[in-house]
Amino acid sequence: MKERLVLIGNGMAGVRTLEELLKLEPNKYDITVFGSEPHPNYNRILLSPVLAGEKKFEEIVLNKREWYDKNSITLHAGSPVVEINRVKRKVITADGSEAEYDRLLLATGSSPFIIPVPGADLEGVISFRDIHDVEQMLAASKQYKNAVVIGGGLLGLEAANGLIKQGMEVSVVHLMDTLMERQLDAAAGAMLKRSLEENGMHFLMGAQTDAILGDKRVESVRFADGSIVKADLVVMAVGIRPNIELAKKAGLYCERGVVVNDTMQTYDPRIYALGECVQHRETCYGLVAPLFEQAKVCANHLAELGYGRYEGSVTSTKLKVTGIDLFSAGDFHGDDTTEEIVFQDLAGGTYKKLVIKDNRISGAVLYGNTVDGAWYFQLMREGTNISDMRESLLFGQSAHLGSSGHGGETQASAMSDAAQVCDCNGVCKGDIVKAITSEGLFTVDEVKSHTKAGASCGSCVGLVEQILANTLGGDYSAPEAKPLCACTEFTHDQVRSTIREYELMDKQAVFDKMDWRTPDGCHVCRPAINYYLISAWPGKAKDDAQSRFINERVHGNIQKDGTFSVIPRILGGRTTPHELRTIAEAAEKFNVGEVHFTGGQRINMLGVKKEDLPAMWEFLTDRGMVSGHAYGKALRTVKTCVGSTWCRFGTQDSTSLGMQLEEATWASWMPHKFKMAVSGCPRNCAEATIKDFGVVCVDSGYELHIGGNGGVKVRATDVLCRVNTEQEVMEYCTAFIQLYREEARYLERTAPWVERIGLSYIKKRVVEDAVGRKELRRRFVDSQDVAQHDPWTARAKGAEAHEFTPMKKLGE
């Protein structure tokens, strides 16, 4: 028999909890929903566009009544609950209806604060909180001319903007000297005020409302200094208060809000609460993003999975009014322990202020150009050390990464709706915006699911996130670390640490220990878990063949016609007549469709049938040629030039060094593909400065580079250090690889990994800590000794034919 779940509050937070719960345990509860409004669930974020005439109410409905019916949810719209009987475990509505519960979910939201001044109850004095308020404002705009908005915060300015678009003369009254003082400093607030005035908005700053005057309907507003402003409509937007009366009446412990713990439970373990009505760790939230984070945790516990925890949210604010962009996050005022980096261009309408504490961003204010707001917010939330990027930090992500760096540095707000965002799937900005607003999307993953934007190569994900931020405005916050996949709530880092902490040796042990939702996992989590297992316990953990991608399983890259390409390893681009004859014979024997030279200085045999792959690899390995791993999450190639052996500009023997690097590191599984290069001189013919690890030979030794990428988004490498000998090159290279193998997330290339953790951290571990570097190298060597017997690489045969240098002799 199903348990009974009752939800009080048909708003965004409560219904999102039901959506998350239905994903986890769709058949666990009989669900009943009580809402005070006579509407299904709608998107309150988009009330401002409805007021401005840009949308209709039907366009902002998130869950139509058919959704409730489809999921067997009983909806009582326009039926407010007036009593909770905790002893009999039932709720009672205003019309006397009752519903019993086994679990109760409170999502009663908040109410607008109405200033207690004379005349506040006159006709024409309203708040800006729900669709009914919007309908009243729209009706008033058709009959009256003058409006006064009390409150110069985020909501007040959006209300004023909408009323101006409806043709009213609007005056904004604000008690403070700075608009949006909770989100902006004085300089940014002044710039905002000037821009809004240019667009027809009037302001009365530092004005205290004394009374609202009129007979039956409002006629004017009087202030403490005796001045009077004519008003046919007064909108109060001075703040909200959590709706806690129902909870207090039921005896639940409340302070400013209903007090909940990290699992969103109240002091009554049968009653959960979330959203604007709750107080968590002494904080109440009014933005949507934190409420959705609470919803996932609450659903996790209603489903009795038991491991979700809500630990609070770091929020940001973004406003888009009449073409004005602003962004703020964190402690942007600072104190004696902080420092500020400021850029201000009054004529150009741009202002940037970053507050730095202990080499980390603690607050940010952007006005005019907010394109880098999401990036600064990510750096702040992750506590990234900005020492390495300090000089370019104020100029944004594109300046830090280079004009073609990773991430979505293109300014989404400046793009037209027809501009294509996702080249892989042909998705335009207008398609994404429409999906966000019509489908009620709030996360990048939801956008991927509905539009396919960002779902292929992933290079446009940063731009998709910017479009989300621009569209959702103040209710968007950058996401927390994502779960590994839909099978779990745990992140990559949490899965990896659990494997190490509990010494788990196979994927089933991981599934059992971490309460996986699906018994066999999925195509996303199986390869990731398999990699985390074999990287944590080389030679001990079971390497599951079926958890690898098909390309890795068969050592061939699948082509568009269903055939495969085969690429034997050619060390450093240097081959022999024997190897060339072997490749030619294999091509003839297995009817290869085309033989092609690759950019990695190897030979690709295309058009091989899948059923011929085992025999073809047996033929090649019997003659000493092993897999080039052109299809694996592993070392791909080590590109070289001819170096000092032949080139008149060469300073070192780059070919020989490249071959040593390849011999030492091939067959090493990685979080993602890994490419290296050795250039014989600073002319860099081997393109070492766009590789995961690159060596540039100079007269005095070797310059080591890391974190480059030459793919869709080109990223130049960072210089790790300079060394004097080939042995040092080997030591630093293998230590860097091992650090990457142990700490990067599966399918994370070195370029975004270096950006995420910072160059300083890598230098500290690989360059400055000599003991730690040698330990990293030791672990790499040990794992490679295991790899010599790895059946996936056919290394046993290849090693005999090639007479590979034993690992322990390299770099010593």
Annotated binding-site ranges for [4Fe-4S] cluster: 641, 647, 681, 685
3-state secondary structure of 320: strand
* Residue 602 to residue 591: CA distance in whole angstroms: 19
Which parts of 302-418 are beta strand (E)?
316-321, 324-330, 339-345, 350-357, 360-367
Phi, psi of 67 (to 5 degrees): -65, -40
Give the strand pairing for 420-422 and 146-150: unpaired
* Residue 41 to residue 23: CA distance in whole angstroms: 18
Order of strands across the sheet that contains 360-367: 316-321, 324-330, 360-367, 350-357, 339-345
Residue of 223, 219, 240, 241 lying closest to 231 (CA atoms): 219
For residue 682, how many other CB atoms are within 10 A of its CB? 14
For residue 776, how many other CB atoms are within 10 A of its CB? 24
Question: Is 718 in contact with 705 (CB distance < 8 Å)?
Answer: yes
3-state secondary structure of 746: coil
Structure tokens at 242: 């959590």
Query: Which residue ranges are tagged as binding site for siroheme?
Result: 685
The dihedral region occupied by 664, where left means phi > 0, alpha psi between -120 and 50, and beta the remainder, is alpha
Q: Which residues contact 559 (CB under 8 A, 6 or more apart)?
A: 565, 606, 607
The dihedral region occupied by 714, where left means phi > 0, alpha psi between -120 and 50, and beta the remainder, is beta
Q: Which residues contact 524 (CB under 8 A, 6 or more apart)?
A: 484, 485, 486, 487
For residue 74, how many other CB atoms are within 10 A of its CB? 13
- The vertex-624 CA angle with 623 and 627, nearest 5°, equals 115
Structure tokens at 761: 């951290």
If you compute the radius of gyration of the chain from its CA atoms, what whole number of angstroms results? 31
> For tokens 């002319």, what's the residue?
683
* Residue 414 to residue 544: CA distance in whole angstroms: 48
Which parts of 424-507 are beta strand (E)?
427-428
Query: Which residue ranges are tagged as binding site?
Result: 641, 647, 681, 685
Question: Chain centroid to CA 187: how far?
Answer: 30
Length of the chain: 812
3-state secondary structure of 552: helix
